[in-house]
Amino acid sequence: KRFSVTVPAAQQLGGEYTRGGIVTESRQPKRLSFRPLSDFLALPGELAEADESKMAPAAVAFEEEFLTVMGSPAANVCYGRSGLLHLAFRALDAYRAAHGGALPPPADDAAAEELLGLARGINDTAPADAKVKQLDDPSRSGVVRLLSRGACAVLSPMAAIFGGVVGQEVIKAATGKFHPIVQGFYLDALECAPESLPPGEVSAEALHAAGRYAAQAAVFGRSFVGKLRELNVFLVGSGALGCEFLKGFAMLGVACGDGGKLAVTDDDIIEKSNLSRQFLFRNHNVGQSKSLSAVQAVTRMNPELHARALQDRVAPETEGVFDAPFWRSLDVVVNALDNVKARLYVDGRCVLFTKPLLESGTLGAKCNTQVVLPHRTENYGASRDPPEKQAPQCAVHNFPHNIDQCLVLAHSEFVGNFDTAPREVSDFLAKGPEWVAELRAAGENDESILDKLRGDVRVTCGAPGGCIDVLVAERATTFAQCVGWARRRF
């Protein structure tokens, strides 16, 4: 992009401008205001549409009635899935009010029709720009019926998604740096739910027999829960994504039956920087195997989980470990990797042995998912991702294997040694006892403050670090001492 920069007048600069200088971007604040919840419920206004393919038939077909409101807030409210869900949840509140706080029972057709009737009543009295269109179309009324069937269930994957969204909104509110969701946001995955279930699948006896998985049985049926429990799953990677997958498997009961198996492999070890996003790990796990620590953590969540931790990289060199009988025994493979080469290898093995693959990845705030079904969908290797612009931090600090990752590692080491550590030492010398008080006020715990002073022995392998390194153990006052310090660092 081209930018135009206006240089201040000479008198402001204190002399004529010649060249160079530093330009600092000044972001202007944006003030937002939100309506009370009661106003939003009656008239939602602008709603973000999570999936435009789920809009009303008139919107998908760009019919004349939709084109008259396209581009306005009424488009999503009247024809969008978000507007339909807004109406359905208002009807659900009305149902609870009429039934003493009780939610509709699963697979209860009478309750579903009652909920749909309440939705129609609310919609009839709504103003024109908040009235949901085509409510009686089977694709629209079916959404309300599905909500009735699963309203009493709390599913771990959906809870994780909404928990992440809420967490982001809290961070936005606390920092004021990012734009929040305006008023309301609706998300559904109703395409996962079966259209109908035999009564025996969701009977009171079936839900009681499902035990801790009763919520899943209420939505998907008892047989589906049984299938999950008997799956043989291979999870490749147990970092940030791997932790999420493992937690989800444990909560859903995957591989928790007598015949179920879960193999988890990761050749990486836990670093302190991992703790901010890989939530299965704690301070005492630093330096330990990721796969072993992750399996131990999720087994505490669900002791029924039949998980086995491995520390082997999935690659041609380990085909003696992950041999043909191993691949043939699998029901599904889940990737949680941080490099394209490993993804392509696992994808190739899944194609060879015709195994379903769930491919996914994250990089900063970006993410991707791909479901690969043998002979039905495109496999991961059929199309190539653009080159990575950022290097995964786990690979950078443990296995830098290309020039870009080596440069990133070098930059990280340089900043740590010549910027972060000196600044912390200068702060410590300038403020004295107040330095600790300021860090505590900023939310630092005593352990992290001690790490700044003495270095984290789990990271430095017992060598000096932090302020002690700079001021005592490795204090350099001559050029020769500086060279010695650099050599020892190297």
| Contact present, 87 and 122 (Cβ < 8 Å) | yes
Is 394 one of the annotated active-site residues of the chain?
Answer: yes
Q: How far apart are CA 58 and CA 64, in angstroms?
A: 8
Other CB atoms within 10 Å distance of the CB of residue 33: 5
Token couple for 462: 């017992």
Token couple for 337: 């990797």
Parallel, antiparallel, or unpaired: how do β-strands 357-363 and 366-372 relate? Answer: antiparallel
Q: How far apart are CA 146 and CA 85, in angstroms?
A: 11
Token couple for 248: 């989800």
Question: CA 448 from chain center: how many Å?
Answer: 26
CA atoms within 13 A on the CB side of 351: 13
The radius of gyration of the chain from alpha carbons, rounded to an integer in Å, stands at: 28
| Contact present, 275 and 281 (Cβ < 8 Å) | yes
Indicate the angle between helix axes 81-98 and 138-150, nearest 10 degrees. Answer: 50
| Contact present, 363 and 388 (Cβ < 8 Å) | yes
Please list, residue by residue across 57-67, b when 16 or more beta carbons sit within 10 angstroms of its beta carbon and e when fewer do.
ebbeeeeeebe
CA atoms within 13 A on the CB side of 142: 11
- List the catalytic residue out of 394, 406, 461, 482: 394
Q: How far is CA 407 from CA 40, 340, 390, 402, 404, in A?
A: 51, 19, 11, 9, 5
At CA 406, angle to CA 485 and CA 458, rounded to 5? 55
Q: How far apart are CA 133 and CA 55, in angstroms?
A: 10
Three-class secondary structure of residue 265 per DSSP:
strand
Q: How far apart are CA 355 and CA 234, in angstroms?
A: 11
Three-class secondary structure of residue 370 per DSSP:
strand
Q: How far apart are CA 80 and CA 52, in angstroms?
A: 7
List, in order, residues 6 or more apart from 455 with CB less than 8 Å away.
463, 464, 465, 466, 468, 469
What residues are annotated to the active site?
A: 394
